[in-house]
Structure 1
Amino acid sequence: MELIEMTVAVANQVYKCGHAHLADQLDESKEHLATLMNSAKDTLCPECCRVEFQLLELDCQAYANLQHMSSEMSAFVIEVSGITEPLSSILALNDYHQRAPSIDELTPGGEAFDLPHSVWRKEFWFANTTDPVHVVMLMDHLKQEMDWLASYMPSGKAGMHFGRFIG
């Protein structure tokens, strides 16, 4: 049986700033990453965003955690802090919402009443009875999202935190 490698093309992607995507093709396992990249095509590229964030001296960070949501459900959660436009608009396009930061694994962030201290939050819910194979697949999805976020952060992957909370 011959294995055929499939690719997902990010065809002629040019950001608003005129820069092209660094990767012309991503393999099928990076389909989520390609979708995220495509969602940002009408904005500045990650490099231009990083430069702007550095000029503004923003401390951009992203935190990925596992949280207990109910007796039947858990969620992988990403919370992004210290950002501004255009990344906030890109996050909104990708199902992030402004919330108060989470305190710990059992205390998700509530409503964002204090907007200057709010975070952009995205949740990836799954049933506690989900087959571990599917949970691992969801973890890969989360890692792709964190890699994508790192491309916008002034400190790159150093601004990505797993198993830590903002406070």
Structure 2
Amino acid sequence: MSDQMSLVVSMERERGDSLRDDALDGQRHLEGTVQAAHEILASLNEVLCNPVLWTQPAPDTSNGSKPGGTPPQQEQGWLALETGRLRYKATTAALRASVNNIFSKLQIRAQEGNSGEEKASAGDLEQLETQAAQLREEAARKNQLLKLLIDQSRDLVSDLSMWQSAEL
């Protein structure tokens, strides 16, 4: 029996560590996405601040600008922008996958936990039903008192208005 308990405890730890590792991966992907977005903004700033680049179209990333050489300075702004865009797409895809992985693990954990909770919740359900019935009775009693107070207030207002009209 203790072997089964230790096995269950170790499995819970592994799942917790796995979920923690997934969360750390997600955080790393999020930081990469933020860095890529910052690179895009910096590249956009560079392109917008350089009037020479306004008239030139963005270079095609599939073919190099010069074989074996670095691209001219005019193309570097566009290439940095394209590189940032591609990195951003890759990091957002990795972030989505990480979030989906965490979400699916949490759903699996919730489904596994529900099977054991159903047995234990029968007593809790009965207790909650009793408490709900008591609260309904109390609400009905308070509603009757409130109705009585409203009727008395209505009578008081009608008496006051009758006395005020009699004085005139």
Name the TM tier (shorter chain): under 0.3
TM-score by length of 2: 0.24
